[in-house]
Amino acid sequence: MKFSDLIFNIEKINKNTIPSLYLILNNYSENHFNKPFPLLFIDFPINAFKILCQVSSEYSAKIIIKLYLEALGLDDDKVENLIKNLESGNDKELKELILKLTN
């Protein structure tokens, strides 16, 4: 998977499933991290997860992150494990996976 494909998939999910939230996420991300939300998710998944929790709810954040991870082609068990890691503040495995998939 190319890096641009990953960005496209994340943006497509955001625009199609949560259009108003998409604008809030991008504005917040660009104002606080100087990058659009899809890039923030790729570079700093834990920060993206925290922002999602702040602007929606933890439950919604998990669903959205699940959609992102499924767009990467991951199976359900792997997705659940990565989400549990994010909840506990650990994004190392997810960062490594994204790096591996986009290189």
pLDDT along the chain (103 residues), means of 10: 67 71 82 88 88 84 84 86 93 88 73
Selection from 75, 59, 64, 34 nearest residue 97 by Cα: 75
For residue 10, count other CB atoms closer than 10 A to its CB: 23
Q: What is the pLDDT of residue 68?
A: 80
Whole-model pTM: value is 0.74
Query: Which token pair is 79?
Result: 């997705």
Alpha-carbon gap, residue 66 to 74, rounded angstroms: 10
Q: What is the distance, to the nearest Å, from the Cα of residue 89 to the centroid of all Cα atoms in its chain? A: 14
What angle, rounded to 10 degrees, do the helices at 19-33 and 3-17 form?
Answer: 130
Domains in the chain (CATH in brackets) are 3-102 (1.10.1200)
Please give the C-alpha separations between residue 80 and each of 23, 85, 103, in angstroms, as whole numbers: 26, 9, 24
